Amino acid sequence: MTETPTKLANLSASWEAEARQWIQWARAPGHDSYWRFHRDQFLRLLPPPGRQTLDIGCGEGRLARDLKQLGHRIIGVDSSPSLVTAARESDPSMDVRLADACALPLDDACTDLAVAFMSLQDIDEMPAAIREAARVLQPGGRLCLAIVHPINSAGKFEEATADAQFVIKGDYLHAFRYADAVERNGLAITFNSQHRPLEHYFLALEEAGFLVEALREPALPDHCIIVGPGRRWQRIPYFLHLRAVRP
């Protein structure tokens, strides 16, 4: 499977440029969805700790640190030198490697669990990253991933009201780059990502030999609704979670 090439700076370089802002954003407890609900919803999809857990696109390491606390033996990989440095500094005992997700510095069949938490939409060659995940997983090993739900990256609500219409004005069925500039509680960051339809992800999983075991479409939980307009996000999923097995 191939995707439309882009002349923009690659996503890895874009995230390295935002590394300082991301470290501040990611490490502010309670600041974003990770702390309020997203992490816990994702963890329900994971099998228990086993032989070894690979965190693909580990960033500054917040999920890797949480997984380690839960008993996982972690190897983290990321292509951003600044984020790898931050992850190592936060826990020098953790194995964090500077590497491309499409060329993992790991042996074949060396791990039983790979997680890609909110990273695949930020990788230019997503199908190659999924093939690499399949290569390093032992038979029966699992890949658990979370991405921005493609319906979310394709469209938007027309206004900030509980009953606002959600509209896709562009092209859902083809990949395209997008950038979301967000400011909240004095912190600002631009998220650079690639929209892909669901078919692109499922074709990549199919071609890498994965079988999908579970799929979830998390919406905003009740406890996260502060004012009524936020309920619009209980009608459209924020994210997509998926667990697949390498037979």
- pLDDT-derived band at 229 (thresholds 50, 70, 90) equals confident
Q: Give the pLDDT score at 223.
A: 85
Of the candidates 147, 133, 139, 148, the residue with the CA atom closest to the CA atom of residue 53: 133
Q: Give the pLDDT score at 227.
A: 72
Domain locations in the chain? 11-149+198-245
* Average pLDDT of the segment spanning 74-98: 98
Q: Give the pLDDT score at 2.
A: 39
Q: What is the pLDDT of residues 131-164, one digit of tens each?
A: 999 999 999 999 999 999 999 999 999 999 999 9
Of the candidates 119, 192, 197, 127, the residue with the CA atom closest to the CA atom of residue 155: 197
The CATH number corresponding to 11-149+198-245 among 3.40.50.150, 3.50.30.60, 3.40.50.1370, 3.50.50.60 equals 3.40.50.150
Q: What is the pLDDT of residues 172-228, one digit of tens each?
A: 999 999 999 999 889 999 999 999 999 999 999 999 999 999 999 988 888 888 777
**Residues above pLDDT 90, as percent of the chain:** 87
Q: What are phi and psi of 196, to 5 degrees?
A: -140, 140
The pLDDT mean for the chain works out to: 94
Q: Give the pLDDT score at 9.
A: 63
* pTM confidence score: 0.93
